[in-house]
Structure 1
Amino acid sequence: MATTAEASPTTGKSNYTQDLQMDEKHIPRKVPSFCSVRYGVAYVTQLCNFTLIAHNVIINITMIAMVNGTDHQSQVNGSTERLPIDLSGDLNKAPEKLPAGAPVYNWSPQIQGLIFSAVNYGMVLTPAPSGYLAGRIGAKRVVGAALFGSSFLVLCTPLAAEFGVVYLIITRTVQGISQGSGLGGQFALWEKWGPPHERNRLCTIALSGMTLATFITIFLGGFISQTYGWPFVFYIFGGIGCVCSFLWFVLVYDDPVSHPWISISEKEYIVSSLAQQARPSKQSLPIKAMLKSLPLWSLFLCCFSFQWLITVLIVYIPTYINSLYIVSTRDNGILSAIPFIASWVFGLLGGQVADLLLIKGVRLGTVRKITTLLGNLPSSVLLVALPYLKSSYMATVALLTASCGLAPLTQSGVYINALDIAPRYSSFLFGISRGFAQIAAVLAPIVSGYLLNQDPEFGWRNVFLLLFAINILGLIFYLIFGEADIQDWAKERKLTRL
């Protein structure tokens, strides 16, 4: 199989690399990446992920304006300081007032934590079913419907907030169901569109839309909130989402065979490169064998711990900066967005590095663990150092940028490990792993909000120490038990019936 990583006793090279070399003798020459439909599908999926995550993180920057971000008396840290220079160049310029028409609410840090996490309630339940459903009826229908549903609910968010916190939480919960379906269902595409030796690049291109969305949404969200009012952030990105859902239905197809504009040579290349892989089975899922699989559990737990790290970064960077420094919503958006442009760049580079290591003969399992380690450990260590350097805003932004920049390297590691250990059930397992991750996305804002509300002096230190402990435990478990070989229960002859 092209996705195994067992060492050859004679050459020391992985079977993964050997199989790729053997396959290339029997398949047509690949179409250049910039001219290929498969990379076009990856970029459209990137746009889809951009839209879904933009809808998810909008409230992280608008919350500063929604709870009266100029009132620093109510922040969890009693002492704040003004930046030495305003980002527009004016010394000691006071933050601009928000537009008068934008409503302001009196929400405590604990209530804010509940609102932040609400979107993840639905995302816990939907990735696994949507991944399984996409494997049956196609990712085009599942993801397209999810993208439109999320866009519509984003447009309704300002009205829900006006009705009250309960209505806002309900709206974001249903929105999470749509977003979870979109994120969980899209992985079925790469079973039919991703040649094994290009899968890292295709997946990281698609996943990079998430970090790019965080950067652009927070960056522009601060400007829009400051100029027009925070409701317009939801209206603008909701409208963009409606357009993107139309493009998805027009441009994306479930497999190369059904695509009307793909060239014959590229179609033959993709189909031939996937010919030796296990086909999705219509038989029952081997649930008992899955529950006993330590490599699978290590994948799930590492996804959980890594998502805790990502959630704290995405949700709380604007709030953290707002709690330390007196800045306008616009300037907060600029400072909070800087770390995520580094995250986007490193996420793209991570896929290239992973594929290069595989071509050089490094074992697939080793590549997965190296990229996971580099994405987890340094990022969590840097966050633990943050509370001790809060007197310098330049050091704060630098550490946040380094932490966010390194984290996406994990996208080439544990994030796509399900394709290695069980390609037959990868859509379902991607959904399960996303579901585990979303449990962390639900708990992290709630627990962090509680810690910030209970301990104003050391709240942030406690948040980051807890993050570090959870992240390290998940990482250690994956480094010990993680694998990249196809598991026996994922092979046709070993299929377990219930």
Structure 2
Amino acid sequence: MALATPFLISMGGWVALVAVRVCMGLTQSCFIPATHTLLGQWAPVAERTRLSNFSYAGIQFGTIITMPLCGVLSTTSLGWTLIFYSMGALSLAASAFFWFLTASTPRQHPFIGEAELRYIETSLQTKAEEEQVPIPWRHIVRSRAMWAIAAAHIGGNWCFIIFLVQIPTYLKNALGINITDSAMLSSLPFVSQWLFSWAFSFLSDFLISRHLLSLTNCRKLFNTIAAVGTALGLAAMSFLSGEHRIAAVTTLVLTVGLSSGICSGYMLNHIDLSPRFGGVMYGMSNCLANLLGLLAPLSAGFILEDQPTELGRWRVVFFTAAALVLACDLLYVLFTTSQQQPWNDPQTEDYDLGFKEKGQEKNMTPAETIYKFPENSEKET
């Protein structure tokens, strides 16, 4: 789609551009759920946060190098079209590497060593050959922890949209700072996010491996750091004026950096609950967060109306986002858990024994046989 963008624009103008960007968004929607699914099969619990951050840090790193690179490409004889041709070719190359160097499970990978395979399967308690089982939709939807994760996802995504869409407008119209004209200034928040995410991931795995905090409490801690840091940053920015340009940019950079705590918080909680279905669960919460996230720019436009330079209106926008992210984090802290759920592996010995004890093997449908579990069957990972 990137390769075809210049041609489509020449044929259909801005309408064609909007259409191709929508289609590109639809195709990219499978990226994180697919990565979550792979991480659930590959990342040992003690290294899950670091390995996941290593994967997802590519999002920030790609943004950091692309912003100045696009500026250079646009000055060539091909102009802006070279940006789309280059990114399309890069995407195809990455797809080729991904296709030939990855496998769904460690046991299916052609190059893995026996020691590494045994380590991963022992850590994740996976079987040599696992059968495919239907997705336990009913148990996922009824999971209190799943809804807590969705709440944190909604709050984090709302603030991300505010930073992505509204903050540059605020800096330009209210404070007279145009960061979009400078590739370096535009990339600084992403550099901060990249660095903070690495620090948080290593600290999280350190706390877990040394048994200083449980996995559940680590997820809550770093998600709260992200939520509180974001709320304080938004509140601080709303009281800055055009005379405090350096303070405004510094606050923006630090706030975006602290927001990366979600990478060690709710973002990995799906895999904690169910390594097998973590990708499906992320897709569900991400869909809900993005649908409600559409209201973020709409509500900001309603509050600002035609007065984007009035600081009082911007305070309402920022404080609304801050209150939302704190409320969502509170729900997350109260109701989430990192215990692996029994419906992640419905064909276990506990499952079979439970039905024999309760005498429920007879007169049960196949779906009920797969997904009904004895009480108190949850185990700590």
228, 246, 257: which one pairs with 1:405?
Answer: 257
> SS of the residue aligned with 1:155?
coil
> SS of the residue aligned with 1:484?
coil
Q: How does 1:167-182 map to 2 (within 5 A)?
A: 167-182=16-31
In structure 1, what is the equivalent of residue 319 of structure 2?
Answer: 465
In structure 2, what is the equivalent of residue 245 of structure 1?
Answer: 95
In 2, Cα distance between equivalents of 1:465 and 1:161: 39
In structure 1, what is the equivalent of residue 376 of structure 2?
Answer: none
In 2, Cα distance between equivalents of 1:375 and 1:273: 29
How many Å apart are 1:427 and its aligned residue? Answer: 2.5
In 2, Cα distance between equivalents of 1:165 and 1:251: 38
Deviations 1:188-221 (A, max 9, x none): 1123211121111111111111222233333444
One-letter amino acid of the structure 2 residue matched with residue 396 of structure 1: A
1:469–1:161 distance in 2 versus 1, CA, 3 Å: farther
How many Å apart are 1:169 and its aligned residue? Answer: 2.4
What number of residue pairs does the alignment pair up? Answer: 344
In 2, Cα distance between equivalents of 1:278 and 1:298: 33
1:301–1:252 distance in 2 versus 1, CA, 3 Å: same
Q: Is the 8 A contact 1:300 1:437 kept in 2?
A: yes
Q: How does 1:129-278 map to 2 (within 5 A)?
A: 153-161=1-9, 163-222=12-71, 224-225=73-74, 229-275=79-125
Q: Is the 8 A contact 1:280 1:425 kept in 2?
A: no
Q: Is the 8 A contact 1:347 1:409 kept in 2?
A: yes
1:327–1:300 distance in 2 versus 1, CA, 3 Å: closer
Deviations 1:341-371 (A, max 9, x none): 0110111121111111112211111111001
Q: Is the 8 A contact 1:222 1:334 kept in 2?
A: no
Deviations 1:245-298 (A, max 9, x none): 122122222222232222232223223322358997644433333333221101
In 1, Cα distance between equivalents of 2:296 and 2:30: 21
1:485–1:305 distance in 2 versus 1, CA, 3 Å: same
Q: Is the 8 A contact 1:194 1:202 kept in 2?
A: yes
1:166–1:280 distance in 2 versus 1, CA, 3 Å: farther
Deviations 1:84-129 (A, max 9, x none): xxxxxxxxxxxxxxxxxxxxxxxxxxxxxxxxxxxxxxxxxxxxxx
1:389 aligns with 2:240: yes
> SS of the residue aligned with 2:4?
helix
In structure 1, what is the equivalent of residue 216 of structure 2?
Answer: 365
1:304 aligns with 2:158: no
- Which structure would you say has the larger RCO, counting Cα contacts within 8 Å and 6 or more residues apart? 1
Q: Is the 8 A contact 1:281 1:424 kept in 2?
A: no
Identity %: 28
- Normalised to the residue count of structure 1, the TM-score between the two structures is 0.63
In 1, Cα distance between equivalents of 2:72 and 2:239: 30
In 2, Cα distance between equivalents of 1:463 and 1:328: 20
How many Å apart are 1:376 and its aligned residue? Answer: 1.5
Deviations 1:317-351 (A, max 9, x none): 444444343658542x2212111101101111211
1:378 aligns with 2:229: yes
1:287 aligns with 2:137: yes
In 2, Cα distance between equivalents of 1:467 and 1:490: 34
In 1, Cα distance between equivalents of 2:160 and 2:135: 31
In structure 2, what is the equivalent of residue 496 of structure 1?
Answer: 371
One-letter amino acid of the structure 1 residue matched with residue 5 of structure 2: T
1:371–1:404 distance in 2 versus 1, CA, 3 Å: same
Q: Is the 8 A contact 1:222 1:330 kept in 2?
A: no
One-letter amino acid of the structure 2 residue matched with residue 156 of structure 1: A
> SS of the residue aligned with 1:377?
helix
In 2, Cα distance between equivalents of 1:202 and 1:329: 32
Q: Is the 8 A contact 1:279 1:424 kept in 2?
A: no
In 1, Cα distance between equivalents of 2:35 and 2:336: 24
1:346–1:233 distance in 2 versus 1, CA, 3 Å: same
In structure 1, what is the equivalent of residue 184 of structure 2?
Answer: 334
Moved beyond 6 Å, runs of 4+: 277-281
In structure 2, what is the equivalent of residue 485 of structure 1?
Answer: 339
One-letter amino acid of the structure 1 residue matched with residue 233 of structure 2: L
Q: Where do 5+ consecutive residues of structure 1 fail to align?
A: 1-152
In 2, Cα distance between equivalents of 1:485 and 1:402: 32
1:246–1:286 distance in 2 versus 1, CA, 3 Å: closer
Q: Is the 8 A contact 1:278 1:423 kept in 2?
A: no
In structure 1, what is the equivalent of residue 361 of structure 2?
Answer: none
Report which stretch shifted further, 303-312 or 163-172: 163-172
> SS of the residue aligned with 1:325?
coil
